[in-house]
Chains A and B, each alone.
Chain A
Amino acid sequence: MDTQALKDSWHLVSRSGDQVPLYFYSILFLMNPDVRDMFPVSMARQRDKLVGALGRVVSNVDRVEEVVPFLQQLGRDHRKFGVTATHYPAVGQALLATLEHFLGDRWTPTLAHDWTQAYNLVAQVMVDAANESSKVSPPWWEAEIISHETRTLGIAVIRARLNYQYPFRPGQSASISYAMRPRVWRFYSFANAPRQDNTIDLHVRMVDGGVLSSALVMGARRGEVLRVGAAVGERLTLPADVQGDLLMIAGGTGLAPLKALVEQIAYEGPTRRVDLVIGARNSRELYDYEAMAKMAAEHPWLNVVPVVSHDPFYRGNRGYAVDVALQGWRGQHVYVCGSEEMAQATVGRLLDAGVPTEQIHFDEFTSDKGRES
């Protein structure tokens, strides 16, 4: 298989920008009208997600060994869209037709053969993982909302009980959908370590005009049911090789996965000290401070520091969380989570201050900038 030819041809095709996914989806939906319903109404944001990922992953098939765990996770996660093994050939066909269309004369039988093989390889990994997981878990879980607290304008803490045992690790997230906004899936981080009673906590901030977050914060009620996809994400988990004390910096609802880590450490027995700096724009957005302060009172190894950036009436620490955090950095690993803006700025400041890259663990709550690039 000539992987360089795959890469070159994908590179060429992607220069046509938006036209590529437009063509891809049109072909896909015309040939398989039944799959249209899996996708949201507006495709603008989705366009370069699936197609972009398809092109990149398939054309990088020479590195497939490295990405197997990722593809497996992707395959498992795709079950929540209702994707089954029978859909993969359709997507492959649409991909090939798209390549052919945009490559014109450069689409040779050899190239077609290589793309087919590469796609099949990738699809096989995803399908196998999906099949494997279908033996032990449902395509999505249903979670009944058992409490919904609006903590301040635009931030809600939701507790929901899953209908089956749900495997996840602190620091992970899952994509979630809500019947009021059908076919819209967005990632939310679990704000707790796994519990016996199968409940999960979500901290949701309403993005102004955001489709799902607005509905979850302003609309969702006790008794309603969320759909939850398989748990994903490794960036903020606590691997065995991260030893010693931790410094955590949360921005807004970026607190959620960090709170989950704190709970994990509490359950596993603390062998380390944790400094958690919680940043918010104003004191009202310190929406979970009470709970965190209570944990800190119970656990001598935990230190929680709230910092507020834009509130002239706030009497505590004023400024940016990262500045307060840096005063306490003594070589610990640093965990950062928040909006894209906050995470980027924070990581930049950490690097400037000399925190080594490999000691910074971060994730961003991006909504639509491709996470795969």
Chain B
Amino acid sequence: MTAETPWGNPTGERQPLTPDRVRKQEFTRTSLGRRGYSEDEVRAFLYRVAEDMAASDKEKADLRAYIDRMKQWYKEHGMNPEQAAVSQTPNVDAINILSRAQQTADAQIAEAEDYARRIVSQARRQYEELLMEAQRQAEEAANQAVGAYRASGNGLQSAEAEELERRIAYLRTFADVTQVQLRAVLEGLAQEVDKLGHVPEQAKQLAAGPLAGGSPSPSVYG
């Protein structure tokens, strides 16, 4: 919510880790580019940890479901183990199945988004580097052109003409360097962005599975 939410968390309270938080954890970069761990390895490890957490969440849920079933059994056999009445909530197995389907869908989307994010930022980096290099070469060409203009020394030299020479040389070189390569990078980027939109649609079937009442593939719940 955008307005300040007026109720804070109790101070000093540590937020429980969730698979999603683990997946999205960022690490600050070491100041020396070469130190630190391989980003891919860290990322792969985070995904493993997130999987494990999700699995343990599932196990706890299974245990709670088991307890609920026991309570239900006692109740049905007139051996009410507790004072509190068991309320009318949906079947525990249904809850678990839906939770797991959602977790599976979330994990797939997270992975796809992460992949897209890396591809796009790579393309963006490439673009920035290309542009920087083109700028460097263009500056150089512009300086050379001015040098050549001055050297030609035909007595009619003016500051405007010199500036014109500079700009023409700059733009020509800049265009030469960027034209082909930049377009290729941009096209790649546009394609990746397009794909982003399709990811959720695939995962949607997963999440909708149990609700749609179909018979979703067993692997989804595996």
Contact = CB atoms under 8 A, between A and B. Distances in A.
> Do A and B interact?
yes
Interface of A: 11, 14-19, 22-23, 25-27, 29-31, 33, 36, 40-45, 47-48, 53, 56-57, 60, 63, 66-67, 70, 73-74, 77, 96-97, 100-101, 105, 107-109, 153-154, 173, 175, 180-181, 187, 206, 208-211, 214-215, 218-219, 232-235, 282, 284, 312-313, 363, 368, 371-373
A209 B114 contact: yes
Interface string B173-186: 00000000000001
Nearest to B114: A209
B208 to A, nearest CB: 7
Contacts of A31: 89-90
Interface in B104-141: 105-106, 109-110, 113-114, 116-121, 124, 127-128, 131-132, 135-136, 139
A41 B8 CA distance: 28
Given A173-B2, A208-B121, 9 more contacts: A18-B57, A22-B102, A22-B103, A26-B99, A42-B200, A56-B9, A77-B1, A101-B68, A209-B196
Contact of B7 (A42, A67, A77, A181): A67
Contact of B186 (A153, A210, A371): A153
A30 B98 contact: yes
Contact of B139 (A100, A218, A313): A313
B15 to A, nearest CB: 8
A27 B102 contact: no
A42 B203 contact: yes
A41 B109 contact: yes
B193 interface: yes
Contacts of A29: 98, 211
A40 B200 contact: yes
B5 interface: yes
Closest 9 CB pairs of A and B: A209-B117, A17-B16, A372-B5, A18-B18, A208-B121, A42-B109, A44-B106, A233-B2, A44-B20
Contacts of B61: 19, 22-23
B145 interface: no
Contact of B127 (A26, A57, A153, A373): A153
Interface in B21-73: 24, 53, 57, 60-61, 64, 68
Contacts of A153: 124, 127, 186, 189
Residue from A41, A109, A154 with most neighbouring chain B CB atoms (10 Å): A41
Contact of B207 (A41, A206, A218): A41
Contacts of B208: 36
A53 B196 contact: no
Contact of B3 (A42, A105, A234): A234
Nearest to A207: B117
B87 A18 contact: no
B64 to A, nearest CB: 7
B9 A232 contact: no
A181 to B, nearest CB: 7
B17 interface: yes
Contacts of B193: 206, 214-215, 218-219
Given A41-B204, A47-B20, A232 B196 contact: no
B124 A208 contact: yes
